[in-house]
Amino acid sequence: MSTTKDIVNRLHRTQGQLQAVERMLSEQKSCTDVMMQLMAAKSSIEQTAILMLQDETRSCLKSPNAKDRERLNEVAATLFKYT
């Protein structure tokens, strides 16, 4: 199970990737190189979102009650919205 610290660390890595994109643009790097870095950042964001949804789901399943069932419904709705 991931912690908030793990998720924040992932986001910091993503920020670093986006800062690299800025540098690459100012240095007039090739479009292919910039796109590769952008796709890496996109993938990082997607993986972080999946990790957060997994953690939320696991948390709700530990001791399901009415509130947790509602949270699971929200997680499912979020999943369907973005996939």
Sorted by sequence, the CB contacts under 8 Å of residue 17 that are 6+ apart come out as 37, 40, 41, 44
The domain that holds 61 is classified in CATH as 1.20.58.1000
The CB-side HSE value for 30 (13 A sphere, CA atoms) comes to 3
The pLDDT tens digits of the residues spanning 31-68 come to 999 999 999 999 999 999 888 888 888 777 777 777 87
What would the pLDDT profile of 11-39 be if each residue is shown by its tens digit? 999 999 999 999 999 999 999 999 999 99
Domain span holding position 39: 4-82
- Predicted TM-score (pTM) of this structure: 0.74
The domain total for the chain is: 1
